[in-house]
């Protein structure tokens, strides 16, 4: 028989934290938990693992002391309800991850249609040789529609940007690292170990497909000098959708608009290109883009803090041969002039692309 245990966390237990509001006894807790990205983005992790018992009873706050500092530390605990589950009522087992224990919306639709509407859980099966994982699978899985057993206020409030944030973190892990993590479970059946690793990687791929086709897949922005000692700079970034085979490089086009001025409404330049055949997942473009740069709008005596030195590069990502882009990402720069160059100061990911009139 297999069993699980965990170490006691250090500190004085204060009980679970809630997925809404703040702690009245914690002066550091000033942001409504429903608006915290690390809690909203955690829906991706819960969905990946099939952690359907992701509720406040499986959290823990403790009072800790570190040196002269004392504060409340927050933990997720008890991930035992992951990787599928077999219940005495088979209909409940099938619904895990697709519907709440009591889902008023699903009940209403089923009553209204007399159960004629086909659901994702109608198609799930138990895989021979991996019966211990129940109906845990990847074919019907979608992170956008995933639900735990209970409604979670932060998961219900999560936005595409929250899911994209966590998906980009998941993209940092390799397939080999997933295999090593599964190996730590020391499953007695090698077939089960192999199946769980493959299923987790497939579920992660489905997350990438759901998220990186609806939000900007560009990440890891960096400004580099083309040649040591040279003033010429390049902006480099990676396309996670290409890197993880969500889209084919030949169908991808980047269209750019560099905006400046007091209202960031002056177009200083534009550029358009497709991924390079030799390294399609990574691209670099020479700065400045276009015929003017923000520092051109000021004279030599203008102080470095002048807002006219600010500029935004709007990158529209096309993942198919269509007029409208799939997503947009805005890269914010501060321009110190041709010699000192650009400084990357911010990245903004609009929920939906806002296409300019001269597109």
Task: Please report, for the domain that includes residue 254, its CATH number.
Answer: 2.60.40.150
Q: In angstroms, rounded to a whole number, what is the distance separating the alpha carbons of residues 153 and 295?
A: 46
Same domain flag for 127 and 260: no
Q: What percent of the chain has pLDDT over 90?
A: 82
Same domain flag for 179 and 31: yes
Tell me the residue range of the domain where 183 lies: 12-212
Mean pLDDT across 160-169: 97
pLDDT band with cut points at 50, 70 and 90 for residue 357 = confident
Same domain flag for 121 and 203: yes
Q: In angstroms, rounded to a whole number, what is the distance separating the alpha carbons of residues 354 and 348?
A: 13
Q: Which of 212, 227, 248 represents a domain boundary (last residue)?
A: 212
Quick check: is 359 in a domain?
Answer: no
Q: What percent of the chain has pLDDT over 70?
A: 100
Same domain flag for 273 and 185: no
Looking at the structure of the chain, the number of domains it has is: 2
Quick check: is 3 in a domain?
Answer: no
Output the CA–CA distances (angstroms, integers) from residue 13 to 17, 24, 149, in the order listed.
11, 16, 25
Same domain flag for 198 and 259: no
Of the candidates 223, 259, 266, 204, which has an alpha carbon nearest to the alpha carbon of residue 48? 204
CA 97 to chain centre: 19
Q: Which of 148, 182, 212 represents a domain boundary (last residue)?
A: 212
What CATH number did the domain enclosing 170 receive? 1.10.1070
* Per-residue pLDDT at 140: 96
pLDDT band with cut points at 50, 70 and 90 for residue 304 = confident
Same domain flag for 59 and 75: yes
* Per-residue pLDDT at 250: 96
Mean pLDDT across 126-148: 93
* Per-residue pLDDT at 129: 81
* Per-residue pLDDT at 181: 96
pLDDT digits (tens, 9 = 90+) for 61-73: 999 999 999 999 9
Quick check: is 144 in a domain?
Answer: yes
Quick check: is 278 in a domain?
Answer: yes
* Per-residue pLDDT at 28: 94
pLDDT band with cut points at 50, 70 and 90 for residue 332 = very high
Same domain flag for 289 and 338: yes
* Per-residue pLDDT at 256: 96
Same domain flag for 71 and 170: yes
| Cβ proximity of 309 and 292 under 8 Å | no
Mean pLDDT across 79-93: 91
Same domain flag for 204 and 243: no
Quick check: is 4 in a domain?
Answer: no
| Cβ proximity of 53 and 68 under 8 Å | no
What dihedral angle (degrees, nearest 10) is formed by the CA atoms of 153, 157, 160, 164? -40
Quick check: is 7 in a domain?
Answer: no
Same domain flag for 157 and 43: yes
* Per-residue pLDDT at 191: 92
Mean pLDDT across 178-185: 95
Per-chain mean pLDDT for the chain: 93
Give the number of other CB atoms < 10 A from CB of residue 186.
Answer: 8
Q: Which of 190, 212, 234 represents a domain boundary (last residue)?
A: 212
Instruction: Check pLDDT > 80 for residue 1.
Output: no
Same domain flag for 190 and 119: yes
* Per-residue pLDDT at 163: 97
Same domain flag for 192 and 51: yes
* Per-residue pLDDT at 231: 80
Quick check: is 249 in a domain?
Answer: yes
Instruction: Check pLDDT > 90 for residue 338.
Output: no
pLDDT digits (tens, 9 = 90+) for 191-242: 999 999 999 999 999 999 999 999 999 999 999 987 777 788 999 999 999 9
Instruction: Check pLDDT > 90 for residue 5.
Output: no
pLDDT band with cut points at 50, 70 and 90 for residue 282 = very high
Quick check: is 243 in a domain?
Answer: yes
């Amino acid at each position: 028989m297999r069993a699980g245990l965990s170490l006691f966390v250090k500190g004085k237990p204060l009980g679970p934290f809630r997925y809404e509001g703040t702690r009245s006894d914690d002066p550091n807790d000033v942001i409504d938990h429903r608006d915290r990205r690390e809690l909203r983005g955690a829906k991706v992790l819960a969905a990946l693992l099939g952690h359907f018992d992701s509720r406040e009873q499986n959290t823990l706050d403790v009072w800790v002391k570190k040196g002269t500092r004392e504060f409340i530390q927050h933990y997720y605990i008890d991930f035992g309800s992951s990787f599928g589950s077999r219940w005495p009522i088979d209909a409940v087992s099938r619904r895990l991850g697709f519907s709440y224990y009591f889902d008023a919306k699903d009940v209403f639709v089923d009553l209204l249609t007399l159960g004629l509407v086909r659901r994702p859980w109608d198609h799930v099966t138990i895989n021979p040789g991996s019966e211990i994982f129940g109906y845990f699978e990847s074919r019907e899985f979608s992170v956008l529609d995933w639900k735990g057993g209970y409604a979670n206020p932060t998961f219900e409030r999560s936005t595409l940007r929250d899911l994209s944030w966590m998906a980009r973190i998941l993209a940092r892990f390799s397939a080999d690292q997933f295999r090593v993590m599964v190996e730590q479970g020391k499953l007695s059946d090698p077939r089960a170990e192999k199946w769980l690793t493959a299923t987790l990687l497939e579920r992660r791929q489905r997350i990438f497909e759901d998220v990186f086709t609806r939000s900007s897949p560009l990440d890891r922005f960096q400004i580099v000098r083309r040649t040591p000692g040279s003033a010429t700079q390049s902006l480099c970034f990676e396309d996670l959708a290409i890197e993880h085979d969500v889209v084919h490089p030949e169908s991808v086009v980047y269209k750019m608009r560099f905006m400046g001025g007091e209202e960031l409404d002056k177009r200083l330049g534009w550029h358009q290109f497709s991924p390079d055949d030799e390294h399609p997942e990574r691209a670099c473009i020479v700065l400045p883009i276009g015929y003017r740069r923000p520092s051109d709008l000021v004279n030599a005596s203008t102080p470095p803090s002048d807002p006219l030195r600010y500029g935004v590069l709007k990158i529209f990502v096309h993942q198919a041969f269509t007029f409208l882009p799939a997503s947009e990402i805005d890269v914010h720069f501060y321009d110190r002039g041709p010699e000192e160059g650009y400084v990357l100061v911010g990245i903004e990911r609009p929920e939906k692309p806002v296409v300019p009139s001269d597109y």
